Amino acid sequence: MNNFYQRKKLLLVLLPLVVFIFSSCVDTSGPVIPSSINYSSEMKVVNLVIGSGNSTLTLNGQTLGSVNFGDEYPTGDFLKVPSGSKTLRVTFGGGTSKSYQFAAPTEYKFRVFLIGNTSDTEAKVITQRYVWQTKNSAEGSPLFPENKGQITLFNGSPDSKIKALIVGSDTAKFSTPIGFGSSTPYRAYNAGSYTIKVVYNDSLNVSFSQNLGSKNRYTLVLYDNAASLKSKVFTDD
């Protein structure tokens, strides 16, 4: 019986020591998991609102600047913003204003197209790629083939339906015309200078000259009413 109590007392003495040894062996050298991750996106705003003139932009209460009809803001690099919910308030040149609610897609590069007229307007968010899919990265290089320029089309004209895109001798006919507020996937062409023609409605067209640089991507925008349809090309990458 005495041996039993002696062994029990010895066990009680050794147990804290064993616990201490095991706790001392825990590896704490690994990376610390952050309590939260702050994701960011890159954006531009394109003003295609008929009758808007020069308009002032405010994003989540912060004044950004102004943008004319048919232009984008900013004109240089894309604006880096936190991903998530956004309120864009636009004060049009005539004094009226409109607030747009949208989400900045997580880690995406995108444009917000403001379309319609000052009394009936909406915002369209068109994503381009992840922000980390850059030209020379392993993840992004497949998006930018060597010696190819790429172009996508966005229709911001309320009464125009795009039937075909002609780049040089290459004609892309759309089985379903590209309607108001819609866009096309990127199409790749050999790098170089082209005459580009857009066919819309019955047989109307607008044409212009454009250089497509190697490994560059562009957005062709059609805007204003069909009777005075305008076009502009923005550089994406």
Domain definitions of the chain by residue range: 40-131, 143-237
Of residues 6 and 79, the one with the higher pLDDT is 79
- pLDDT at residue number 14: 45
pLDDT digits 0-9 by tens, 71-88: 999 999 999 999 999 999
d(CA 207, CA 182): 20
> Is the pTM above the cut of 0.75?
yes
CATH topology of domain 143-237: Immunoglobulin-like (2.60.40)
| Type and span of the H or E element at 23 | helix 2-24
pLDDT digits 0-9 by tens, 23-68: 444 455 555 555 567 899 999 999 999 999 999 999 999 999 999 9
pLDDT digits 0-9 by tens, 160-218: 999 999 999 999 999 999 999 999 999 999 999 999 999 999 889 999 999 999 999 99
Q: What is the mean pLDDT of residues 107-129?
A: 97
| Two domains, one topology: 40-131 and 143-237 | yes
Write down the residue that tokens 């550089």 correspond to. Answer: 235
Q: Print the SS3 string covering 84-127.
A: EEEEEEEECCCCCEEEEEEEECCCEEEEEEEEEECCEEEEEEEE
Please choose, from the candidates 53, 126, 42, 127, the residue with its C-alpha nearest in 3D space to the C-alpha of residue 90: 53
Write down the residue that tokens 């392993």 correspond to. Answer: 138
Q: What is the mean pLDDT of residues 155-164?
A: 98
Please choose, from the candidates 83, 128, 86, the residue with its C-alpha nearest in 3D space to the C-alpha of residue 234: 128
d(CA 78, CA 42): 6
With beta carbons less than 8 A apart as the criterion, state whether 38 and 18 touch. no
Q: How many CB atoms lie within 10 A of CB 113?
A: 25
- pLDDT at residue number 79: 98
Report the CATH number of the 40-131 domain: 2.60.40.180
Structure tokens at 72: 């984008």
**Length of the chain as a residue count:** 237
